[in-house]
Structure 1
């Protein structure tokens, strides 16, 4: 079990490594971001801090194989990571240098189009370990490193590692597929309780057969991920975009995640909004453009009707009424304001066309997330990626909260002055 310290501050890496080791981690990886930020000094510091542990330097060597292996080995690394996609000459030189300096070589299959064939070639060139790896950006779009492990272990005799978004369940799957090494990054280093997270993964690695392994549908996974993060997390994952303007929660403490059923209506005309309830499915969110804030296309009776269909909530660019009834019903409702008066059911507008709501385009099937901060729109075509990235944001913030609780300030932890643009 290997922890990947993909951080940029050595002091934080040492503390997190200490907690991870107490939780059962065997090997410590000095991650590529840490090496790029702090250089070989990070490798030296980790080796000095954990002299009895195997230290892997994730150099991602792609050229000058002998030189980079020499650097890492002299800094204290026991294993050096090279890119499997590097030229054969680079890998051969890295292997020669490793033998000279008494270290091992692990080859990272990240972005390799034929990982099985390349694994066979790498073993013949003398590498000591194969790392089946889906990079962070690949993970965000659904690449799973576990899909090919069972094929690779059939064609090589050297140990195979798995890396890429692994949690306790993923580690169990990796071991069941034949991996002898599991590499865990974010699910340990971004945890508020590194020891407990490491211990949970340790248990799954030691007893993989007792872990229930099942793969949910992508829609259910998206909904679960979005339900577990805040709208600020999602906004950060979307590079501060996706937030509806001037749309606020009518009930505090209510979370909503669902797929959009869109309604274009005008001036309080509530015919199409009410008809959309009958068209909506369980798990949907009604999203309405009303166009005016002085007359409402939605109220308590429509809200109550949504409960019968399992609708997750309602968003209105405009006004809502019957706020007292809506509060009693408890269904999440988000709107621009609330007023007493409603319009007439004239039937103008349309259902399930692309609309603008809160100054954002909304298409039928887009994921709509609302909480006490407001509402965000997650485009359906890249919802899985955004949900995964939002979860990484949430993990990072949880870890920062924990470090601040220990007495540091956010500026101190992030070393803001060091990283200010010069």
Structure 2
């Protein structure tokens, strides 16, 4: 199933086409861009521990390691974004039929969750970094996630890790479409962003920043009921552009029963969704589900090598993250096929993306040796609906019990309180603690 999907979504011909369309200064001489992506995918999937190891094991690489790293270190962010967007566009019509019967997040809308992701600190292999004591951050990205499809549908890479997230919104706003509902945190609560989404005839639920956009209240808040986490109020507000243009919105205020990790007890949300289409309580519940993107980031980190510590060059690190996003999408489609074919109820039986990735890692190389290349040719010309049916047919042979997720129980909340630094840094012998003989 993974091989068939990669043949469609990451074909060598398509990868070279994307490179030629979006490159600026790079060019192809001896090293094909598709070869670079293939090697990086081996690292993302965990089949190779590093790009260096993947290159050494590849019989197809005919250039030096220096040439390979030069290509990787100069891959332009526009190319990385085109890879993520293009591959997701190929997969949406494949996975959509599998998701037809699931309950929509918001009736009549296509939900999009927006969030920023800072890449973890890299090793200081670049000469200018070696004398620097602090962490070296190779970059960040804005990620657009379609939670109902479980796909990363867009990614805007940024080489400057200290750039403000809202400053990267231009390319995202260009792609906003009518009928979408955008969920985002307060980093994106600006007058310009709210007006831009509204002008695109898209809906939004965005957490209000303490300073921006500072809307004018049009009346007192009124209590509308409770949700699982607290008491909900609703209020009409208005924001205004510098040109004088005004926009009336709803402010949904959630008074939390328990404070957040930051100690906040009130969350204010701004939305242009009409009240007759979505009540204030539903707005509050839907925004809470925005955390689904954090779960996706967690799976990217735990299942894939999305942030390769050895790639300190910003463009190389962003390419690795982009390839990991594409790999995530492929595994998400595999997971959807298994869940759909076996009619699994997510409330009672969850499939683990970790076990799916482990299955691919453990058997892929042997399968490629055992199955002749000619056997794959019949799948090359399949349309998206045909490919969707093929995946479901293959998924019937999967034993879902081997892929079942075993989530941990929620941790009990305990207040640790203040202790002196010496006490916090004190170490213990686990064996002696278990024996009841705690000792430093």
Could you tell me the TM-score, scaled by structure 2's length? 0.29
TM-score by length of 1: 0.30
The higher-RCO structure (CA 8 Å, 6+ apart) is: 2
Q: Give the structure with the larger strand fraction.
A: 1
The structure number with the bigger radius of gyration is 1
